[in-house]
Structure 1
């Protein structure tokens, strides 16, 4: 037998199902004590001895499922599902549709789906529907007589209420557990992906002592610019709060392709020939390919998708004369247009060679001159109108 895991943070579906089973049917074993007692009392009082036997057998099966170590997990799950089905059929057959039978039949496919998968759940639904049709035809055609029900009483009401509350508790436990675990899982997945992106960013800038500060400025300024753009009446359609939240981290991978460029071509202080400059620009192609390979492993990772756009296209120009694809205007991804502007500003203010550094006011004037040729006009206007930008470089 595969032992029921006590791990409260399962990493696969099998462990989740073990915990769901243990919690649901463990709670059921406790809650069903008053249900069993009141149900047996009422059945004895009404002379329904067959239901006394059914109730007793059902409770014994419930205890056996939880305590017998010889049972495999799938055997437990099948027994638990069929237990709900059996109780439901027995109730409807013995006391008609006014009792708790429908509650248990309602639970049957839900438990089956949770524990044994969607296909089994569909089979459970089909079996439930077929059972109800056959029983309805049987009662209507008088193949079997409708149960003779006594007048409703407090005892009958109490039994129905207890059955209803038992199933209610089980559904709440299952739904609450799944929701909590899904939330935890999504948070851990998101944190893991952010850590991966951050690790890649640090790797890409490992050779340069100033890279950490450069990446930090690029991240902060990109995020600030998109936040300012969010409140603009001319906000681009693709700009969302999630976009603004993610761009800072994704922007740190803008030069990830530099890990594939020769060391002697990475210094901005080097005077380059056109051939050397062309070779250096290949870092956009390398970054595109590297992040594309990672994205194939995690196609729904928004951070990597945005980082790929940035790495590939942050050297494109608004007028279509950039590299590598000569994309023009809004055909350049918005994230790449943002980082192109911020990277240009950072280069003007923090160039490794002090002779080429500008003051902030000089950089603003220079950026204004690139509007509509190299840089997105809307982004330039937003940058120039945002006073908090100055603080990032001071």
Structure 2
């Protein structure tokens, strides 16, 4: 795989097709748990202090503090959140068993530990969770046998009963965890197939315009790379728009290639003309944003839930609008221009400047940066220009890499 294709794969390929769902599940489960545990935590700590059980009060406080940390601390990665969340389930389960014996609460938390690991971390993590559970129950059983644990008096309870309960617990837990792993793998394959089909459809649509405009495939690749870079950088900044989420970046990375889909409706004599366009010809080619938006709007009627098509419509219809209102086709101004279109407008100009055309040689990166800076708050969103200036060296690297490959 060439460097430019490899870079693009790193930017737009979803490493795990379940990653978004895992994050949603984590946020829902642990967010709800944090709310429910507010009265539970204070009640538990109060009762522990009344009974002079300081270790349990400290343990409860630590667990709740960790729960809030993994929910709200932004610097923690999703994989770290998932790992710590699974560890919390295990810790709570073992803590209950050690403190108050074979209670329903202790077994409950240990029971959900492997399935939770399967959902958030995958099949291998679920196997490890099962092994940890087996080892923990074995150690607790040995400690109970040799009276190393001080539990409330449970009449008739002995090591044999503990062993029977533990064996049945492990067997049932294994069945549930394996079932979840199987279903998640099926879901993952289905999601991956859907995402692959979606990418193929979008690239296919984009190539319709590309082939008529004498562009190379590298143009589409660069557009996706540049778009992902600029959108990701803007999302990192303190004043980033709320709509600039991870899913927004995924959608715009894919949909950016649809910006010129409307060129399928422009006559070849105009579209392929090697020299400068006349005023009349330029007016004709200015219709391509309207044509592109109309084409994608017609697709939305059949797939109203497809956000990437909606974003493609906004991009196709708005990537020639300008921040000061002097653009076309609608003369939109400022934030009335969709954010996706504002992002693609900047990267499209950069790519047009730095790429060779039949009627011009490529501008240098330095000259392209100068022109973009001059267009700040005129042609381009001023905040996006600042974001671009932060990472423009990465644009230069990708541009040079692409030009080297096309020689």
Q: TM-score range with shorter-chain normalisation?
A: 0.5 to 0.7
Alignment partner of 1:376 is 2:381 = yes
Aligned to 1:388: 394
The aligned counterpart of 2:328 is: 323
Larger radius of gyration: 1
**Residue by residue, what CA displacement relative to the aligned partner does 1:108-150 show, whole Å, maximum 9, x if unpaired?**
xxxxxxxxxxxxxxxxxxxxxxxxxxxxxxxxxxxxxxxxxxx
| Contiguous gaps of at least 5 residues in structure 1 | 1-157
2:251 to 246, 254, 279: 246
After superposition, the Cα gap between the structure-2 partners of 1:325 and 1:209, relative to the gap in structure 1 and judged at 3 Å, is: closer
Structure 1 residue 360 corresponds to structure 2 residue 365: yes
Q: Deviations over 1:79-124 (max 9, x none)?
A: xxxxxxxxxxxxxxxxxxxxxxxxxxxxxxxxxxxxxxxxxxxxxx
Deviation string, structure 1 residues 35-59 (Cα, Å, up to 9, x no partner): xxxxxxxxxxxxxxxxxxxxxxxxx
Deviation of 1:369 (Å) = 1.0
After superposition, the Cα gap between the structure-2 partners of 1:388 and 1:167, relative to the gap in structure 1 and judged at 3 Å, is closer
Q: Is the 8 A contact 2:232 2:249 kept in 1?
A: yes
Q: What is the root-mean-square deviation of aligned Cα atoms in Å? A: 3.0
The SS at the match of 1:206 is: helix
Q: Distance in 2 between matches of 1:282 and 1:181?
A: 45
Number of corresponding residues: 244
The residue number in structure 1 matching 2:289 is: 284
Which one of the candidate residues 296, 300, 313 is aligned to 2:301? 296
- What are the Cα deviations for residues 155-189 of structure 1, in whole angstroms up to 9, with x where unaligned? xxx99999999998887676555444333222211
Distance 1:283 1:339 in 2: 15
Q: Is the 8 A contact 1:318 1:372 kept in 2?
A: yes
Which blocks of at least 5 consecutive residues in structure 2 are unaligned?
A: 1-162, 401-407
TM superposition score normalised by structure 1 = 0.54
Distance 1:192 1:378, change over 3 A: same
Deviations, residues 202-243 of structure 1 (Å, cap 9, x unaligned): 222113443312222212111111122222222221111222
**Which range is displaced more, 237-246 or 219-228?**
237-246
Matched, 1:311 2:316: yes
Residue 264 of structure 1 pairs with residue 275 of structure 2: no
User: Does the 8 Å contact 2:202/2:255 carry over to 1?
Assistant: yes
Give CA-to-partner distance per residue, 1:316-348, whole Å, 9 cap, x none.
111122212221111111111111111111222
Aligned to 1:385, the other structure's residue is in SS state helix
